[in-house]
Each structure stands twice: as structure tokens, then as C-alpha cells.
Amino acid sequence: MYIIVGLGNPEEKYLKTFHNMGYIAAGDVAAKLGVKFKKKECEAYVAEANLNGQKIIIARPVTYMNNSGRAVKQLLAKYKATAENLAVIYDDYDLPKGHVRIRPSGSAGTHNGMRSVIAETGTQNFTRIRIGIRDEEVNIPLINYVLSEVKREDYELFISACTKAAEAAIQIAGGRAVEAVMTDFNG
């Protein structure tokens, strides 16, 4: 059992915002595994896949970003999974735009969604797949920036980053060591 959660906001108006990079990447995971988000449970849209004989749950919380931890906690409980079998994909302002960085654990940094996940699960020991969104040329408050739409000229860069994040999540869920995936994707 492995759970992959892509953080974001559920309304269509947020679809192309920086804060929805995790949602987009989770959609890429589902597409690559040939499944669709068919049901709503645990305050999330959920898709189920099988990878190397292991059940994979792919989720997009509907709690809005700042309460993402509620859905993650419910998913872990429902599927009797531990945080060691969890990967969370999300946007990260602390990384340059388009970069993908994987970590086996760590703090929430500046990310309120991750603060919620850590608070609700009671642990920092789960895999994070971070998609960098920082643009040095933009100088607006962080809350306004993360909820703004990706610029048209950067769209392909972010789509590529989401695809990389999805591939990393699939490799980890498939049993590849996080450290090995980090070697391939971080950099």
C-alpha cells in the first residue's frame, strides 16, 4: 500500500495557479498508471491503481490547501497506512521555478499545506516531492503569488516539472529507494 497526495485547491479557478502544482502532478500520476479519479472519500478525490502488485492510492484533497492534513490523516487511517508509505507532492516557493526536489522528511518551510499535513499526521517522516515556483522577477506578497496563474511563457516549464514529479512518485511508490530517486531527480 502506498499513498500519493497532490496538494492544491479544488475549484476550477485555481486550476492553473502555482498552488495547484501538486494537483496537476497527481493527475499525471493517475494518467501514467491508467486510472481516473472516480470517487470522493476522506475529503479527497481518489484514484486507485496497482503497481508491481501493490495498491496505490492517488489523492487530491478537497479541503483547500491550508487544511490538507485533514484529508491525509483520514486517508492514512482508512487504508491503514503509515507515514513511511506516503508521498506528498506540492509547490514550493523556496525552490526556483521548474525545479523538482525530493526529500525523505523535513519541515514544512513556508508552506501552510505542509504545516497542516505535519500537524494532522503528527510526523515529518514522509516523502515530499517539491515543485519549485519561485520567480526572482516577481515581487508580490507570497499569498498573492501562489494563487496567481502561471504565466503563459512558463506553462511548459511547469508542465514538465509536474511530469517529473509524477514519475518520481511512481518510482517511489513502486518500491525504488527514495535516496536513489533523489539522485536521479534532485539537481
- Structure confidence by residue, pLDDT tens digits, 75-126: 999 999 999 999 999 999 999 999 999 999 999 988 999 999 999 999 999 9
Residue 6: pLDDT over 70: yes
Where do the DSSP E strands lie in 71-126? 86-96, 100-103
Is residue 177 packed enough to be buried (19+ CB in 10 Å), middle (13-18) or exposed (0-12)? Answer: exposed
Q: Indicate whether 171 pLDDT > 90.
A: yes
pTM: 0.96
User: By mean pLDDT, which of 10-24, 37-51, 56-70, 130-144 is the weakest?
Assistant: 130-144
**What are the tens digits of pLDDT across the range 28-44?**
999 999 999 999 999 99
In 3D, which of 163, 122, 175 has the Cα closest to residue 30? 163
Q: What is the pLDDT of residues 116-147, one digit of tens each?
A: 999 999 999 999 999 999 998 888 998 899 99
Residue 74: band (very low, low, confident or very high) from pLDDT cuts 50, 70, 90: very high
Q: Exposed e or buried b for every residue in 56-71, given b needs 16+ CB within 10 A?
A: bbbbbbbbbbebbbbb
SS3 at position 79: coil
CA atoms within 13 A on the CB side of 35: 19
Q: How far is CA 165 from CA 49, 101, 138, 139, 162, in A?
A: 17, 8, 24, 26, 5
Architecture of the domain defined by 2-185: 3-Layer(aba) Sandwich (3.40)
Catalytic residue among 19, 60, 101, 111: 19
Check whether 180 has a pLDDT greater than 90.
yes
In the predicted structure, residue 2 carries a pLDDT above the cut 70: yes
Say what the pLDDT of residue 187 is: 65
Active site residue 19: yes
C-alpha cell at 101: 526536489
What would the pLDDT profile of 47-57 be if each residue is shown by its tens digit?
Answer: 999 999 999 99
pLDDT of 123: 97
Where do the domains of the chain lie?
2-185
Residue 137 has a pLDDT of 86
